Structure 1
Amino acid sequence: MTIYVALLRAVNVGGTGKLPMTELRRLCEEAGFIDVRTYIASGNVVFESKLARRAAQAALESRLEAYAGKPVGVLIRTGKEMADVLHANPFSDEAPNRTVAIFLDGPPPADTLEHMTGQGNEKVALGKQEIYVHYGEGMANSKLKIPAAKTGTARNINTIATLAEWAAQ
Structure 2
Amino acid sequence: MATRYAALLRGINVGGGKKVPMAELRGLLESLGLQDVRTYLQSGQAAFTAGHGDEESLAADLSGALAGRFGFDVDVIVRDHAYLRSVLDDCPFPAGTLEPKQLHVVYFSAPVTEERFAEIDRAAYLPEEFRLGDRALYLYVPDGLGRSKLAEHVSKPRLNKGVVATSRNWNTVRKLVEMTEA
Structure 2 counterparts to residues 127-138 of structure 1, below 5 A? 127-138=133-144
Secondary structure in structure 2 of the residue aligned to 1:163: helix
1:60 aligns with 2:62: yes
Q: Mapping of 1:55-134 within 5 angstroms?
A: 55-91=57-93, 92=95, 93-116=97-120, 119-134=125-140
| Stretch of structure 1 that moved more, 63-72 or 31-40 | 63-72
TM-score by length of 2: 0.86
**Structure 1 residue 158 and structure 2 residue 162: aligned?**
no
Gaps of 5+ in 1: none
Q: CA deviation at 1:124?
A: 0.4
One-letter amino acid of the structure 1 residue matched with residue 135 of structure 2: Q
Q: Which whole-Å deviations, capped at 9, do the CAs of 1:80-115 have from their partners, x for residues lacking one?
A: 111111111111243222211100011122213323
Q: What CA distance in whole angstroms lies between the structure 1 residues aligned with 2:130 and 2:38? A: 31
Between stretches 144-153 and 48-57, larger displacement belongs to: 144-153
Instruction: Answer yes or no: is 1:34 the counterpart of 2:38.
Output: no
- The alignment yields a C-alpha RMSD, in angstroms, of 1.7
What do residues 124-147 of structure 1 show as CA deviations (whole Å, max 9, x unaligned)? 000010011011111112222114
Amino acid at match of 2:13: N
* Structure 2 portions without partners, runs of 5+: none
1:156 offset after TM fit, Å? 1.0
What is the count of residue pairs matched by the alignment? Answer: 169
Q: Indicate the larger mover: 29-38 or 140-149.
A: 140-149
SS at 1:133 equivalent: strand
Point out the structure with the larger helix share: 2
How far, CA to CA, are the matches of 2:64 and 2:75 in structure 1? 10
- Give me the whole-angstrom Cα distance separating, in 2, the residues matched to 1:70 and 1:115: 33
User: Given residue 155 of structure 1, which amino acid in structure 2 is its aligned partner?
Assistant: R
Aligned partner letter, 1:130: A
What is the percent sequence identity of the aligned residues? Answer: 33
Whether the 8 Å CA contact 1:131–1:149 is kept in 2: the answer is: no
Deviations 1:36-58 (A, max 9, x none): 00001100000011222222112
Determine the structure 2 residue equivalent to 1:141: 147
Q: Aligned-pair distance for 1:11?
A: 1.0
